[in-house]
Amino acid sequence: MPIAPITGTLRRKIITDITIGFGCGFVLATGYWYFEHKPLVAKREEFYKQLKAQKEAEESV
């Protein structure tokens, strides 16, 4: 009595792994972008805005 061949499980596992990998990567990248990157950029932009205002104030004196 031969064992029945296992068909489709490897392909299904690969597709599942790739889908989960891309899904987790997208979620983590989105979280990084909105909770880490954007606040840093806003802080930097605010610093340069203050620096520009300070230089303009010094030049006008």
Q: Is there a domain that residue 31 lies in?
A: yes
Total domains in the chain come to: 1
Q: Is there a domain that residue 12 lies in?
A: no
Q: Is there a domain that residue 51 lies in?
A: yes
Pairwise CA distance, residues 40 & 37, whole Å: 5
* Buried b or exposed e, range 25-53, using 16+ CB within 10 angstroms: eeeeeeeeeeeeeeeeeeeeeeeeeeeee
Pairwise CA distance, residues 57 & 51, whole Å: 10
**What range defines the domain where residue 59 resides?**
24-61
Q: Is there a domain that residue 15 lies in?
A: no
Can you give the pTM of this predicted structure? 0.68
Q: Does the structure show a pLDDT above 70 at 47?
A: yes
Q: Is there a domain that residue 53 lies in?
A: yes
- Does residue 1 or residue 59 have the better pLDDT? 59
> What is residue 12's predicted lDDT score, i.e. its pLDDT?
86
Average pLDDT over residues 6-18: 85
> What is residue 1's predicted lDDT score, i.e. its pLDDT?
64
> What is residue 11's predicted lDDT score, i.e. its pLDDT?
82
- Does residue 16 or residue 60 have the better pLDDT? 16
Average pLDDT over residues 18-28: 98
Q: Is there a domain that residue 28 lies in?
A: yes
